[in-house]
Amino acid sequence: MTTFGFDTTTDDVLDGRDLTDVNVVITGTSAGLGVETARALAAHGATVVGIVRDVGKARSNLDEAGATGVDLYQADLASLSSIRAFTDTFLADGHDRIDVLIANAGIMACPHGTTADGFELQFGTNHLGHFVLVNRLMPLLLAGPAARVVMLSSAGHRRSDVNLDDPGFEHTPYDAWDAYGRAKTANVLFAVELDRRLRDRGLRAAAVHPGGIPTDLGRHLTEETMNVLIETRGERHFEWKTVPQGAATTVWAGFVADPDQVGGRYCEDCAVAPVIDDANDSPGVMGYALDPDTATALWATSEELVGETFDW
C-alpha cells in the first residue's frame, strides 16, 4: 500500500487513477489550490466545473496551468442572490449528477467587513456561502449511488470555536484570526452534520486542512497578522507546502480514501487527523470542531440566517 504524507502531491495521490465519467464541481478555481485541484483531476479524465467570482482571471490561470477543458460558472460566495442565481442556472443546464463537490474557495484574516447580506465577511463567505451552495446542489449530489463533499478547512480552526450567539461579532470585539477560526471550525462542523444526515443515502462529507501554502488566500495578511499566526501555532507548525502538496489531501479525501474512513472527519497530510485538546499540538483537530451537538445547532442557525431550510 502506498504511504502518503506531508510531501505527497496531487499527482502522487492520483497516480494510475482513471477519473473518466466522474463529475466534479470545485469552488474557487481561479488561483492556487483550486487551479491545481482542477488541473490534476482534469488530467486524469474527470469532468470538472469551476465556480469563480472572476471568470476571466480563472480562465487565464487555468490555461497557464494546463488545466484544459474546465467549464466555468460565475458566483460570488459573499452574496446569497449570486449563489442562488448560479445554482438555478446550473440545475437548469441539464447536469445529471455531481460525484464530488469540493468547497475550496475562501478568504482569510481580512479586515472587518460584511457580505452583501450583512453577515460577518469570513463566516458569511467561507461557511454560509458554501452552506447554501452545497445544499442547493444536493439533488445532483444525491442523483448517483455515491457522492462526496470535501470542505476546505484549516489548522486555523484551532484559534476559535464557533459562537452561535454572536456569529457577526456584534457583541464581541472583532479579531481577524478569531473570525477565521470560527469560519474554519464551521467548515468542519458542516461536514460532520452533512455526513450524519446523508451517509445513509450514499453521500459522505469530510473536512481537510491543506497545510500552509503561499497563495492568494494570504492577500490580506500583514506583518502583524502573520506574526500573530506564527506565535499562536508555534514555528514548528509553520512549514510551507507547495501548491501540489497543499491540494493533495483534498484529492485524497475526495477520490482515494475509504469513504467510511474520512466521512465526518478532519484530514491533513493525506490522513485522518487525531483529535487534540491543545491548539499548539500538531497535527490534529480540536474536539469542539467535531462535536455533533454543535454541528446540529450550527445547521439550524445557518438555516435561520440564510432564510432557507434544507431537509434532505
Q: Which residues are catalytic?
A: 153, 180, 184
> What b-and-e string marks burial along 254-265, b requiring 16 or more CB atoms within 10 Å of the CB?
bbbbebeebbbb
- Nearest CA to 41 out of 132, 140, 150, 131 is that of 150
- Nearest CA to 96 out of 133, 34, 47 is that of 47
Got the DSSP string for 151-166? EE--GGGGG----TT-
Contact 129, 117 (CB under 8 A): no
Dig out the grid coordinates for 106 from the structure: 475562501
CA–CA dist 261, 178 (Å, integer): 30
Contact 51, 93 (CB under 8 A): no
Quickly list H helices, the chain.
10-14, 32-43, 55-65, 80-92, 121-122, 130-136, 138-141, 176-198, 223-233, 243-246, 248-251, 259-262, 292-306
